[in-house]
Amino acid sequence: MSAAPTPLAQATVAEAMTPGVIACGAGATLEEVARLMASYRVHAVAVYRPDGEPRVWAFVSDADILAAVGIAGFARLTAGAIAGTEPLMVDAEQSLAEAARLLAEHQCTHAVVLRDGEPAGVVSSLDVIRLIGVRREA
């Protein structure tokens, strides 16, 4: 017999996150970023720092790419050129409700999930919505 689902109010980020981080370097072309999104069926790709340090620096979302399509020189644009600000970081054991509040407060759709200080995955607004859609409050 399986355990009853955790009430949504008690759910953790780890329960909703997508494991792993799909990422590219700041010098990746937008075509390369779009290929990653299509291959992994994600709406955003993490971008590593321009100095090569293996630390997530920003996200490029599908909306960012769509907004850049009309820019002259689109083919030469890189992930680093259109990446947003430093991403929101949340802990895997943090409450999902708190993470959702932070996503809304910071007006962002993705956050890097840390486990023991290391990236373990990504939680998006869609991940939160999916979990809400399958949960029933106790």
Instruction: For the sheet with 44-48, list strands across it.
Output: 23-24, 44-48, 56-61
Q: Residue 95's closest CA among 53, 48, 131?
A: 131
**Distance, CA of 57 to CA of 43 (rounded, Å):** 17
* From 10-14, 88-92, 126-130, the region with the lowest mean pLDDT: 126-130
The 10s digit of each residue's pLDDT in 36-87 is: 999 999 888 989 877 766 677 888 988 899 999 888 888 899 999 998 777 8
Mean of pLDDT over the chain: 86
Measured CA to CA, the distance from residue 115 to residue 90 in angstroms comes to 9
Average pLDDT over residues 4-29: 84
- CATH 3.10.580.10 applies to domain 8-134: yes
Q: Where are the domains of the chain?
A: 8-134
